[in-house]
């Protein structure tokens, strides 16, 4: 694969559109990606895709009325057509008094290029991906294996009529491995921007080991338990915490935990959850969809609910400076797409050893929001739920359904692992989460399940 976007060519194509007659302000966001995804199941490759995508979003302001039109054909003709289409729609719209305008170069000043780009990931071909899967299948040969191996490159550029001109690119390498030995399933995964940092063999061996441990079966009753959440489980909780409440729009509208609890203690000592695309384990770009540089924001700072992430609109409403988290959706508002939970000082084994009677959770499945302000979630455990007794993992149990406030879980944190893992999102390709294992004092396994 080659770099997915010729920024100079796009800049030249965009220039006439930025001067669209009749428009007061114009902004063009361009995204491009080359993605190769090899899926395997029943220990064989079942789907294998390679695709190249581009898209340009032309946002036009007529006074304080705004509309967007997009196209995946990056020719001058198509870009001008999109601009004209957006202008016609903007002129028809009612006034938007809260429209903050597109940023100037002074507003958008700051570092904006993370450059989390690995040439090996960008150049990976179908043979590379096939060989990675074959390595997994050798290691998992005694069981049925399923998962994915992905290599992809992504580029973004933004230009506006005030002179803002930004471009950044990143790569992803992702592998997942589910092993089913007929009695239990196990899970392993690894994600990074770089191919060399993704050890497919280690992920496969971890899945095999998990499934092997799961052969010892026990039973358990619903209840509130002490748990150790592996990094994949922690990551899902903080991703949903971000989704439900890190954005300033949800705070302003009263739907975020920050609406009423800002300044209060919501997590135990040492619990810091932030959005930080600059973290060395994050995957993403250094500017948002308005071209503002993305700043590191500690939303929960050493246990205290601190501040939301903002875009220009919500920053104007709050009287602050944008943190650079425009999501591209005015309806959804600003979004923290690179959530990071800071590590503690415990080894994973120490977290488990400290539990007298509780459970170890490998990961969660099909999580959904029950109460947004309370950060109350439900979902299932999956691919390895183990009882811990007197500091030892003793047996596997059937999956639980949980009903748990994320903040309540963070408030009962008893220990935080020192190792951080990166998780790439399932849907789309934007952002990442970085999480440690955590030991939680009280976690509500509301329902035992039937299998």
Give the position of tokens 């050893």. 353
Site residues (CB under 8 A) for other proteins, limited to 187-226: 222
Give the one residue of 3, 24, 41, 101 binding other proteins; rule: CB under 8 A: 41
Of 154-162, 239-247, 369-377, 389-397, which segment contacts other proteins by CB under 8 A?
Answer: 369-377
Contact between 46 and other proteins (CB under 8 A)? yes
Q: How far is the CB of 390 from other proteins (least distance, A)?
A: 29
Closest CA to 288 of 407, 430, 183: 430
Cβ pair 313, 288 in contact under 8 A: no
Length of the chain as a residue count: 451
Give the one residue of 124, 148, 360, 421 binding other proteins; rule: CB under 8 A: 148
Of 23-31, 78-86, 414-422, 431-439, which segment contacts other proteins by CB under 8 A?
Answer: 78-86
Give the one residue of 214, 379, 417, 431 binding other proteins; rule: CB under 8 A: 379
For the CA atoms of 235, 325, 34, 41, what is the dihedral angle to 10 degrees? 20
Q: What is the DSSP letter of 92?
A: H
Contact between 143 and other proteins (CB under 8 A)? no
Task: Please identify, using beta-carbon distances, which residue of 214 and 373 lies nearer to other proteins.
Answer: 373
Contact between 96 and other proteins (CB under 8 A)? yes
Task: Please identify, using beta-carbon distances, which residue of 14 and 271 lies nearer to other proteins.
Answer: 14
Contact between 183 and other proteins (CB under 8 A)? no
Site residues (CB under 8 A) for other proteins, limited to 416-435: 426-429
Distance CA 244, CA 87 (A): 33
Contact between 384 and other proteins (CB under 8 A)? no
Q: Between 397 and 416, how does the x/- string for binding to other proteins read (CB under 8 A)? A: --x-x-x-------------
Distance CA 381, CA 213 (A): 16
Contact between 280 and other proteins (CB under 8 A)? no
Residue 91, H or E segment: helix 76-92
Q: Which residues of 69-90 are buried (b: 16+ CB within 10 A; e: fewer)?
A: bbbeebeeebbebbbbbbbebb
Residues paired with residue 32 on neighbouring β-strands, in sequence order: 54, 155
Site residues (CB under 8 A) for other proteins, limited to 283-342: 329-331
Site residues (CB under 8 A) for other proteins, limited to 242-261: 253-255
- What is the dihedral sign for C-alpha 271, 277, 279, 283? positive
Give the position of tokens 């509208």. 253
Q: How far is the CB of 418 from other proteins (least distance, A)?
A: 29
């Amino acid at each position: 694969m080659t770099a997915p976007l010729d920024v100079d060519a796009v800049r030249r194509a965009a220039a006439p559109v930025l001067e669209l007659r009749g428009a007061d302000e114009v902004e063009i966001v361009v995204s491009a990606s080359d993605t190769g995804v090899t899926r395997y199941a029943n220990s064989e490759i079942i789907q294998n895709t390679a695709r190249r995508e581009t898209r340009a979003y032309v946002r036009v302001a007529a006074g304080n009325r705004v509309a967007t039109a997009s196209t995946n054909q990056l020719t001058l003709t198509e870009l001008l057509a999109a601009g004209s289409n957006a202008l016609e729609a903007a002129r028809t719209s009612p006034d938007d008094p809260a429209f903050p305008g597109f940023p100037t170069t002074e507003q958008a000043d700051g570092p904006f290029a993370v450059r989390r780009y690995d040439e090996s990931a960008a150049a990976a071909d179908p043979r590379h991906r096939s060989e990675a899967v074959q390595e997994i299948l050798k290691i998992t040969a005694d069981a049925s294996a399923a998962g994915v191996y992905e290599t992809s490159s992504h580029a973004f550029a933004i230009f506006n009529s005030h002179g803002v001109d930004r471009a950044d690119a990143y790569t992803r390498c992702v592998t997942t491995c589910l092993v089913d030995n007929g009695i239990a399933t196990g899970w392993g995964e690894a994600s990074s921007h770089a191919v060399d940092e993704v050890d497919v063999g280690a992920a496969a061996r971890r899945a095999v080991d998990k499934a092997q441990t799961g052969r010892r079966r026990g039973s358990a009753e619903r209840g509130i338990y002490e748990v150790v959440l592996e990094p994949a489980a922690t990551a899902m909780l903080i991703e949903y915490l971000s989704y439900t409440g890190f954005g300033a729009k949800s705070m302003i509208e009263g739907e975020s935990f920050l609406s009423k609890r800002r300044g209060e203690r919501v997590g135990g000592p040492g619990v810091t959850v932030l959005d930080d695309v600059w973290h060395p384990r994050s995957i993403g770009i250094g500017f948002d969809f308005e071209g503002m540089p993305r700043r590191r924001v500690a939303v929960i700072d050493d246990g205290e609910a601190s501040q939301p992430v903002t875009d220009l609109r919500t920053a104007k409403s709050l009287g602050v400076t944008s943190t650079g988290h425009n999501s591209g959706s005015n309806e959804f508002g600003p979004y923290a797409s690179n959530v990071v939970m800071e590590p503690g000082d415990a080894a994973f084994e120490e977290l488990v050893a400290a539990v007298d009677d509780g459970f170890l959770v490998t990961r969660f499945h099909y999580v959904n929001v029950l109460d947004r302000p309370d950060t109350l979630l439900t979902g299932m455990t999956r691919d390895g739920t183990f009882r811990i007794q007197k500091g030892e993992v003793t047996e596997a149990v059937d999956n639980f359904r949980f009903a748990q406030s994320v903040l309540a879980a963070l408030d009962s944190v008893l220990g935080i692992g020192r190792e951080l893992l990166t998780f790439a999102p399932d849907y789309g390709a934007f952002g990442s989460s970085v999480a440690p294992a955590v030991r939680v004092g009280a976690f509500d396994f509301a329902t035992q399940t039937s299998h």
